[in-house]
Amino acid sequence: MANSKTPSDLTRPLSPHLQIYRPMLTMVMSIVHRITGGALYVGTLLLAWWLLAIASGPNAYATFQMVASSFIGRLVLLGYTWALIHHMLGGIRHLIWDTGRGFGPAEREWMARATLFGSITLTVLLWLFVYLVTGGLR
């Protein structure tokens, strides 16, 4: 009620933000979805660089491969793979929500766990495959 305002009401935050709430899995997953999206936004530069390097010739490609196969390069690519898979699984969760399904307490908790477990498992399997089958980055 507008006429029942006391000074303490006025100093109270109008829109409580993240620091007010106890972290919960669904909330953390929502934040991580946005962070991975932002990371992929920057990481797509690597894809553009890779394509441009191949189009430019053997020297440019060798430079890219040298950077990509360095320790930092592999770490970035590992993070990129996880962010991509996590954002994709999180996106599938959002598409399910868009149909009006999956909002129940048990369902949303289950989907949050499946997204996290799925993204980590698929990333590990993908990198194992790259190293064991194709011989890894050269």
Which residues here bind another protein, judged by CB under 8 A? 34, 37-38, 40-41, 44-45, 47-48, 50-52, 54-58, 61-62, 81, 84, 88, 91-92, 94-95, 98, 126, 129-130, 134-138
Shortest spacing between CB 86 and another protein, in angstroms? 12
Cβ of residue 126: shortest distance to another protein, in angstroms? 7
The sign of the CA dihedral 25, 30, 35, 40 is positive
How near is the Cβ of 81 to another protein at its closest, in Å? 8
Whether 137 and 69 have beta carbons less than 8 Å apart is answered as yes
**Residue 84 or residue 112: which is nearer to another protein going by CB?**
84
Nearer to another protein, 24 or 47 (CB): 47
